[in-house]
Amino acid sequence: MVTASSCNIDEVVTAPPAPEIILEDGSIYSVKVGAEVRLAPEYKNVEDATFEWSIAGEVVCTERAYVYTAESIGEVYVSLTVATDAGSDTAEMRIDILALETPIVDIAMQDITVTVGYSKTLTAVVRDTELETTIFWSLNGEKVAEGESYLFEATATGIYVITATAKNADGEASDRVTVTVVEPSEMPFAYEFATTEYHTVVGRNLRIAPTKIGDNEGVTYAWELNGTTTACNTPYYIFNSMTTGEYRLTATATAGDNRITNTLTITVYAEGEFRRERTASSSSDFSAIVEYMPAPGQFIGDLKTGGFTGEELTMTAATAYAEERLREGNFVSLGAFGGYIVAAFDHSIENRDGADLAITGNSFDGSSEPGIVWVMQDENGNGLADDTWYELRGSEWGKEETILDYAVTYYRPSGTGMAVAWEDNIGNSGTVDYLKSFHTQDYYYPTWITEDSYTLRGTRLEARNYDKSGNGSLWVQPHYDWGYADNNSPTDCADAVNSLDIANAVDCMGESVDLNFVDFVKIQCAVQSKSGWVGELSTEVCGISEITK
């Protein structure tokens, strides 16, 4: 029986074969947003065939090949039906629409005003992509260098716009910074203090220092205490009084015709004036977390291991997060250097013989991330942690490698998935790397910090971490001898709990200070380093409590 047009060989009639769609490269295609992808399978037996391409039931093309334009990220399923009088064949193809991997670039520097002779190496931080990326630098629109860094030298006065541009196959992006170069006599003059009111205790050294000071030549400083000129001619002043009462201190900076005077008040209290005795209801554990200010780090903002909710958009919310985590026995990460947490107690902690404080971390052999512990008395009795911090001396105190008054400024990334750039006050710069294999938060910069940069200050220890394998696979972070939190010290650590002694407190002059009691405890990450794929060294805290004898 003849059922279709056919070939007749020796009077045997055969039906022509039905059409066939051949997807030699598979049925999945990838394309980036805004680009086109051409779907063009191989065919068999398609003479006089019709072609029907459809998406979600709607016919979009009737040609042999279909060109799809990607409009938004996601998946699109395309159905193709080929038909002839001999039959039909159907195939489904998936198009994965991917985001463009356009580069994002940051210059780790803010707009500044400097004098002739200034020089600085600028570094461009670029978001990691799968595409090859090139970087070039422009000075006032003229290309001056290629690569990740550029040395700017201020040889003449003027306004210089420095631009770093990163470019790959998906696009390009730029960041810029403006450097205003002036003569020394034109340098803006500044001499500012964080507060006008200070307080201390009889017989203790109190360092009063400006938070902002101009980079001017020939500046002289003068201090008056209660109307009497002192011998001090430095930007800062060391105050010490053996008598209680209120003191008036004036600080004057003079540069040429410019003069700035600050009037400050210091109140001196008696030792133990606001001591709070332990009662039957007192707890050895901290009573409240009063401040949580981490540096950028891989667990900051992390919704899984870090335990963030994504709603920590204010300091109050962030502090509540940290307190809840500690009460549950979970770790709180302090991020990279300078990140800290402050705990209060419901009574004053006495300085008894031996260790007084127990700080729980998550250190183990080969993984120490030391945090310096600071203590404070409520010297003015207002219940706030706004008095003088005293560092608890550890094994690295006084060593040449240990840097006092070390400061790091962290910069908000320009986009998601980027490293956080930083620079310190001794001329170094670097990044807190984004580990996309382990974390998915947009970035490591704390969400509750609204400024585009912030600075953390403290004592820095020399980093000891090293790559034991030689190929980056095994990083070791050795312990320090004694005196630090999250430090697997054989001297003062048992089961990841470090024992600290208030008797090791030192003041701003590096001298031992006799504190009969303390009311607040601060733990601060003391290293600025990273261990390859493991990420930045960041002190973790799991508990803060008093050791009762």
pLDDT tops 80 at residue 392 = yes
Name every residue whose Cβ is closer than 8 Å to that of residue 65 and which is 6 or more positions away in sequence: 38, 39, 40
Contact 475, 466 (CB under 8 A): yes
Q: 25 pLDDT band (50/70/90 cuts)?
A: low
For residue 391, the Cα-to-chain-centroid distance in whole angstroms is 24
Residue 302 counted as domain residue: yes
Residues 350, 467 contacting (CB under 8 angstroms)? no
Instruction: Pick the last residue of a domain from 59, 74, 98.
Output: 98
Q: What is the DSSP secondary-structure string of 447-486?
A: TT--SSEEEEEEEEPPP--EESSSSSS-EEBPPPSSS-BT
Q: Is residue 194 part of a domain?
A: no
Is 355 in the same domain as 413?
yes
The structure tokens listed for 309 are 């909710």
pLDDT for the residue numbered 216: 81
Q: Convert the pLDDT of each residue in 47-73 to its tens digit.
A: 999 999 999 999 999 999 999 999 999
Flag whether 277 is in a domain.
Answer: no
Query: Does residue 280 fall inside a structural domain?
Result: no
Give CA separation, 351 vs 177, 202, 289, 360, 380, in Å: 50, 18, 21, 19, 19
Q: Is residue 281 part of a domain?
A: no
CATH number of the domain enclosing 170: 2.60.40.10
Q: Are residues 401 and 487 in the same domain?
A: yes
* pLDDT on residue 5: 43
Residues 393 and 472 in one domain: yes
Of 54, 71, 98, which closes a domain?
98
The conformational region for residue 493 under phi > 0 = left, psi -120 to 50 = alpha, else beta, is beta
CA dist., res. 450 & res. 431, Å (int): 20
Mean pLDDT of 23-33: 84
Q: How many residues does the chain have?
A: 549
pLDDT single digits (tens) 115-149: 999 999 999 999 888 899 999 999 999 999 999 99
Give the amino acid at 526. Answer: A
DSSP string, 260-275: EEEEEEEEEE-TTTT-
What is the domain extent for residue 114? 105-185
What would the pLDDT profile of 316-335 be if each residue is shown by its tens digit?
999 999 999 999 999 999 99
The reply to whether 329 and 437 lie within a common domain is yes
**pLDDT exceeds 60 at position 4:** no
What pLDDT shows up at residue 253? 96
Dihedral (CA of 143, 149, 153, 156) sign: positive
Residues with Cβ within 8 Å of 428's Cβ and at least 6 positions away in sequence, in order, are none
Give residue 1's pLDDT band: very low, low, confident or very high (50, 70, 90): very low
pLDDT of residue 384: 96
Local structure of 440: helix, strand or coil = coil
Q: Tally the domains of the chain.
A: 4
- Write out the H or E segment, with its range, that includes residue 172: strand 171-182
Residues 539/524, Cβ–Cβ less than 8 Å: yes
Q: Are residues 329 and 469 in the same domain?
A: yes
Do 180 and 209 fall within a single domain?
Answer: no
Residues 15 and 76 in one domain: yes
| Distance in angstroms (rounded) separating the CA atoms of residues 424 and 403 | 12
Whether 22 and 151 map to the same domain: the answer is no
Domain co-membership, 429 together with 355:
yes
Position 227, amino acid: G
421 and 487 co-located in one domain: yes
Asked whether the predicted pLDDT for residue 26 surpasses 80, the reply is no
Mean pLDDT of 205-231: 92
d(CA 115, CA 118): 6
Domain membership flag for residue 193 = no
Confirm whether 276 is domain-assigned: no
Collapsing DSSP states into helix, strand and coil, what is residue 502?
Answer: helix
The confidence score (pLDDT) of residue 121 equals 93
Is 121 in the same domain as 93? no
d(CA 402, CA 370): 13
Domain membership of residue 256 (yes or no) is yes
Does 59 share its domain with 118? no
The candidate with the shortest Cα–Cα distance to 203, out of 244, 242, 238, 245, is 242
**Which of residues 98, 129, 162 is at a domain's end?**
98
CA distance from start to end of the chain: 106
